[in-house]
Amino acid sequence: MWDGDAKCIPLRRMLSAEARRETSHLRLSRIQEFGKLARINRFTRSSRDTHR
């Protein structure tokens, strides 16, 4: 039982680090996506007359 716990601790630590990296990556991608959307909105707003 103790041996299993000893194995489990580094795995949990590794998973938490992975999760942290994942969340930071998600946050970054979300920010980039938001920036892209804002740029698209600005573009469509400025060139709506030329489209229609």
- pTM (2 d.p.): 0.42
pLDDT at 6 over 80: no
Find tokens 């600005």 and name the residue: 42
Extract the tokens encoding 41. Answer: 């909105």
Give the position of tokens 């998973």: 15
38 membership: H or E segment, kind and range: helix 2-46
Over residues 14-32, the pLDDT tens digits come to 788 888 888 888 888 888 8
